Structure 1
Amino acid sequence: MDDPEIKLERPLFYKSPFGLRFEIGPSDLEIWNDESKSLNSEYFSVALERAMSIFHAVFEASDDIAITYQIFSDGRRKIKKRSFIFKQLNSLDNAKIELSDHREIYSEDLDYKSECWKRATISGIKTTEIDTEQLFKAIINTDFSSLQPKLNGECYLINRTKQLVLNLYDDRGMDVVSNRKEPLDSLYRSHNHLILDYDRESIDKVFS
């Protein structure tokens, strides 16, 4: 299928017809070690484990997927071929890369004609061709200056086979959305324990 008719704008959960919102960073673990004032590695390990578990529940090896990466630009900032996102693919030889500018997303934040969102969409790839673990680790590390790797920007994984979009937005959470309820039913059941409590009531009304 073509890209789902989902507007790639955060928060994805609140802007999509059907969606699930998951807690990625474990609330029962502290981010910082009180004694050493260092980051708690267990927190980040559990967060990555949760993100990967959700990903594997809805992305199979043979699925036809696309990756969209976007950054805010004042007109000068661009997405370069040496960007972190491109390095997470085994090969770009058979991939289709489309670069585009967008003013229809976050439009209330765009004050000048030179401002836009730069987007790179990588399509024609399979799930197995991307180092998802390294990508998720970089997203989880986003707000912590001492941690590497790090991804500066937004990343959306589009599963064209399953007709859904996944967005891990930082260490706190992940949205998985679709235009239809059916692609999310099994994920709702298998990962119900990770649903963010804040949105659980509204999610249960749709899926339970």
Structure 2
Amino acid sequence: MIRNLYSFLNQNFEGLILTPPLFYSWNNSIRFEISNPIKPHYSKENLQQTFQRSITLFKKVFNERDEILLVTDVLTTRNNHFLQRKPLNVYKKYLKDKNLLYKLHHQLLGRFFEDEADEMVIHRFLLQCKKNTIRYVPLLKAICYEDYAHSSTILKSNQESGYEIYFVNLNKKIIFHLYDDRGCDILAADKEDIRYLYEEFNDWILDYDRKRIDHLFE
């Protein structure tokens, strides 16, 4: 499974490393604004927009037949044994079929920062699945809630760690990354495969990056 991910990236996204910000690492990409920056993030109206946009984009990118790689990276210190005591609940909580947990793959990646006293590592979890096997609506909402004190927070018992979740569409060669409630990066091997998103949701594009995105689809 690990080899499948890297083979897919090498063939379709040469040189891309799965780490944020993905939008600035790949030319064929769109950055969508998810929440309204001029309104309180936790307001009911803003949460409704956040959920509606993230879920709508996900449904547009993935259909029921697509093979999906659900990739979760947890960044933490090497001496943090939280994941050994309590396996990551992204898969336990948001999979409809718990038998799929037996197909979950794990990889430990080293990562170093000059200004960090402790060595940092990334626990990478991968699972190949389909849209109808994921409870994607509550999962997307949990990602949007991550900066709030909310019961659905994914790492609420391990606040010293950070995480990123990537949805990789193996059929359409598209990567979907809702990085938090602020925005969502969508990358494609071929820009024409996401032109429909650019046209249909043009008013959702983040204005800060609009010039670059418009130029891509000229």
Q: TM-score range by the shorter chain?
A: 0.7 to 0.9
Unaligned runs of 5+ in 2: 10-15, 156-162
1:90 corresponds to which of 93, 96, 99: 96
CA contact (8 A) 1:99 1:120 kept: yes
- Distance in structure 1 (CA, Å) of the matches to 2:114 and 2:55: 32
132, 138, 153: which is aligned to 2:136?
132
Q: In the alignment, does 2:109 pair up with 1:99?
A: no
Percent identity of paired positions between Structure 1 and Structure 2: 27
1:26 paired to 2:36: yes
Alpha-carbon distance, 1:165 to partner: 0.7
RMSD value over aligned CA atoms?
Answer: 2.2
Equivalent runs, 1:44-193 vs 2, <5 Å: 44-77=47-80, 79=83, 82-86=87-91, 87-94=93-100, 96-103=103-110, 107-108=112-113, 111=116, 114-123=119-128, 125-145=129-149, 147-152=150-155, 153-193=163-203
CA deviation digits over 1:152-191, x for unaligned, max 9?
3210011101101111111100001123212211111111
Structure 2 length-normalised TM = 0.82
The runs of at least 4 aligned residues of structure 1 exceeding 6 Å deviation read none
- In the alignment of these two chains, the number of paired residues is 197
Shift of 1:207: 1.2
CA contact (8 A) 2:106 2:124 kept: yes
Unaligned runs of 5+ in 1: 32-38
Looking at secondary structure, tell me which structure has more helix per residue.
2
- Which whole-Å CA distance do the structure 1 matches of 2:187 and 2:61 have between them? 11
Work out which of the residue numbers 11, 15, 37 in structure 1 matches 2:25: 15
Residue 111 of structure 1, CA deviation: 4.9
Bigger mean CA offset, 75-84 vs 7-16: 75-84
The CA deviation at 1:151 is 2.4
Question: What is the distance in 2 between the residues matched to 1:165 and 1:134?
Answer: 19
